[in-house]
Chains A and B, each alone.
Chain A
Amino acid sequence: MSDLVKKTLIYTLLAVGAIIMVFPFFWMFISSLKTAAEVNTSPPTFLPAVPTFQNYVFALKTAPFARYFLNSVIVTLACVTATMFTTILGAFAFSRLKFPGREFIFASLIAMMMIPFEMLIISNYSTMVAWKLIDTLPALIIPFTSSIFYTYILRNFFLSVPDSLYWSARVDGASNWTYLWRIMVPLAKPTLVTIGLLNAIIAWNSFLWSVLMINTQAKRTLPFGLFAFTTESGIRYERLMAGATIVVLPMIILFLTARKSIVTGVSRGGMKG
């Protein structure tokens, strides 16, 4: 094979693949700008004849998407902040502090990553009932403040920091607490950003738990709100696509601005959230 043929083949395959991956997003956005009549035509049009924002107006009027959006922002920020806090402290204890059983506890935690979250909902639901948190936003936050996976990633980073740094800080009179927040946390910033992004994506897209916990419309998060919208608006694809765009857009923007950090995080852990 000549180099030119080879190059052409590589680029063609990649281009076809890339189009297949991106096309649903393109189609979602294009459909959301069409009128009902144009959506239901065959053959389909690849660009809207007269782009209209009517579907977005309808979506925002019929379902409180602004409210859903706010709820999603609150839940995501709270989950990420709380998880960061527990992760930083936990990773520090597992990497720097010495205590009996440390390695055993840590190995048990790693094994626990095998347990599917879906299985635990049977029991976690009753916990939320007992704590009287059903139909509240805290119910979407409190169970998600500790992550073994993120603690594992951050611990690995902390272990890669040379010991000498710790001892010289201690000699200078720094306590563990000061050392952690003044030296380790700034050093770990790229890792923390990655963990925070992965966590934010998962929290933003969380669906099943919200369906179980939330009954009131005003307390829904975006993915649940969008699912409910399919029954509220009827199966009108131009409207559904407008709703889907509202849910997906923030994450796409986040991905476009922080792709490298997100990809590094995923490839380093080799684990799905």
Chain B
Amino acid sequence: MRRTAVKNDERITLATFLQPAAYLTPFMLGILIFTVYPFINVVLISFREDYKVLSREFSGYGLGNYARVFADPTFINALKNTAIFVAAVVPAATVISLLIAVLLNSKIKLQGLFQTAFFMPMVTSVTAVGLVWRWLFNFDYGLINYLLSLFDVGAINWLNDPRYAIYSLIIYGTWSMLPFTIIILLAGLQNINPQFDVAAKADGASPLDIFFRITVPLLAPTIGLVIIVNMISASKVFMELFPLFGGKPGPAYSLYTVIYYMYEQFYVKWRLGPAAASAMILFLIVLVFTLIQLLLQRKWKNY
């Protein structure tokens, strides 16, 4: 009985195509209109010369937008700031999160309470929490400068001095990256067979030995994943600038990031070509880094 039912069902008829099409249409419409089409469109716009927003006219295809963007010191500055931000925030968040995840994974009481505390920032809006950080960083009455004064450190102009603004962004960025990173690493740790631990302890390995010789190597794929995902999200740093600096790219326009540059070219100056080119450059850089990392990880796995 079952056999025949299966056979009837799998005979190729018009319905074989129509039914999946019907189920997929609502989903695919959204993807095609708001991901596939705009992606192709942005790639094309980035190569169009003299693209005019209103008339949609252009004189041909070429690399003009890319040349213009790379010749713009603001963009180079944006690339630099973004690179510094990624290079600071991703390792800092990974190391701190690894420590916290290992501690959370040890047999402790109040697990629920600690998890609530560490994960809560994940659900809150960048705008709202960014405003709180702006207040914490405040020069005159901010709590951070007050705490520093207890250690005889003079007040730092966190948000209005171009020398310090990027540190404020990095501190806030690291803090907001922790919950997600801890969750993923903790899940990875929980998947490691506890017998490795037991065996190592029986052999007289110290906790540090266990951590560096057993935990870290076994967790390497998860750490790699976390680094990739965080690198992608950190490279898009931009929204944080709104609450921290009132929508400006840092004090004295010193803290442009690539996406901020794109946003300004697009939404303030309506220069779609350079906007698309700058977004493409970031996308390609991140893509290359991701592929390198995936390759390295595959290589390491062979050991």
B23 touches A44 (CB 8 A): no
Chain B proximity mask over A90-111: 1 for CB below 8 Å, otherwise 0: 1011100111001000000100
Instruction: Tell which of A42, A144, A241, A259 touches B141, judged by Cβ atoms closer than 8 Å.
Output: A42
Instruction: Tell which of A14, A86, A255 touches B114, judged by Cβ atoms closer than 8 Å.
Output: A14
Q: Is residue A18 contacting chain B, with contact meaning CB distance below 8 A?
A: yes
User: What is the CA–CA distance of A112 and B1 in the complex, to the nearest angstrom?
Assistant: 42
A17 touches B34 (CB 8 A): no
A115 touches B35 (CB 8 A): yes
Query: In the complex, how many residues of chain B place their beta carbon closer than 8 angstroms to a beta carbon of chain A?
Result: 98
A223 touches B16 (CB 8 A): no
User: What is the CA–CA distance of A87 and B24 in the complex, to the nearest angstrom?
Assistant: 9
Q: Is residue A41 contacting chain B, with contact meaning CB distance below 8 A?
A: yes
User: What is the CA–CA distance of A170 and B20 in the complex, to the nearest angstrom?
Assistant: 17
B119 touches A259 (CB 8 A): yes
Sort chain A's interface into a size bin: 35 or more
* Closest Cβ–Cβ distance, residue A256 to chain B (whole Å): 7
A42 touches B229 (CB 8 A): no
- Knowing A21-B118, A115-B39, A121-B266 are in contact, say whether A237-B135 is a contact too (CB < 8 A): yes
B20 touches A112 (CB 8 A): no
Interface segment out of the listed A58-66, A187-195, A205-213: A205-213
B287 touches A114 (CB 8 A): yes
A127 touches B104 (CB 8 A): no
Instruction: Tell which of A27, A90, A266 touches B122, judged by Cβ atoms closer than 8 Å.
Output: A266
Q: Is residue B151 contacting chain A, with contact meaning CB distance below 8 A?
A: no
Instruction: Tell which of B9, B125, B232 touches A205, judged by Cβ atoms closer than 8 Å.
Output: B125
A207 touches B175 (CB 8 A): no
Interface segment out of the listed B68-76, B86-94, B126-134, B192-200: B126-134
B123 touches A251 (CB 8 A): yes
B29 touches A146 (CB 8 A): yes
Chain A proximity mask over B36-69: 1 for CB below 8 Å, otherwise 0: 1111011001000000000000000000000000
B127 touches A227 (CB 8 A): yes
Q: Is residue A89 contacting chain B, with contact meaning CB distance below 8 A?
A: yes
A205 touches B126 (CB 8 A): yes
A-B contact count (CB 8 A): 272
Mark out the residues of chain B between 85 and 143 whose CB falls within 8 Å of any chain A CB in the assembled complex. 96, 99-100, 103-104, 106, 108, 112-129, 131-133, 135-136, 138, 140-141, 143
- Knowing A21-B175, A41-B141, A118-B236 are in contact, say whether A230-B23 is a contact too (CB < 8 A): no
B128 touches A27 (CB 8 A): no
B239 touches A207 (CB 8 A): yes
Chain B proximity mask over A170-190: 1 for CB below 8 Å, otherwise 0: 110000100000000000000
* Closest Cβ–Cβ distance, residue A248 to chain B (whole Å): 5
Measured CB to CB, the nearest residue on chain B to A120 is B38
User: What is the CA–CA distance of A253 and B286 in the complex, to the nearest angstrom?
Assistant: 36
User: What is the CA–CA distance of A90 and B232 in the complex, to the nearest angstrom?
Assistant: 26
- Knowing A43-B146, A171-B5, A270-B184 are in contact, say whether A118-B279 is a contact too (CB < 8 A): yes
* Closest Cβ–Cβ distance, residue B254 to chain A (whole Å): 20
By a CB distance below 8 angstroms, the chain A residues around B135 are: 27-28, 31, 237, 240-241
Interface segment out of the listed B162-170, B209-217, B241-249, B295-303: B241-249
Question: Can you sample 20 A-B contacts with CB below 8 Å?
Answer: A17-B117, A21-B121, A25-B124, A31-B135, A98-B10, A99-B20, A116-B232, A116-B283, A121-B266, A122-B266, A123-B37, A124-B38, A148-B31, A205-B125, A208-B263, A226-B128, A244-B131, A248-B124, A251-B125, A256-B116
For the complex with contacts A240-B131, A263-B119, 20 further pairs of A-B residues with Cβ separation under 8 Å are A14-B108, A17-B117, A21-B178, A21-B179, A93-B27, A114-B290, A116-B283, A118-B236, A120-B34, A122-B266, A123-B37, A127-B38, A146-B31, A170-B5, A176-B19, A205-B125, A227-B247, A231-B246, A240-B135, A268-B187
Nearest 8 A-B pairs (CB), nearest first?
A146-B30, A90-B27, A123-B38, A18-B117, A267-B187, A93-B23, A205-B125, A119-B279
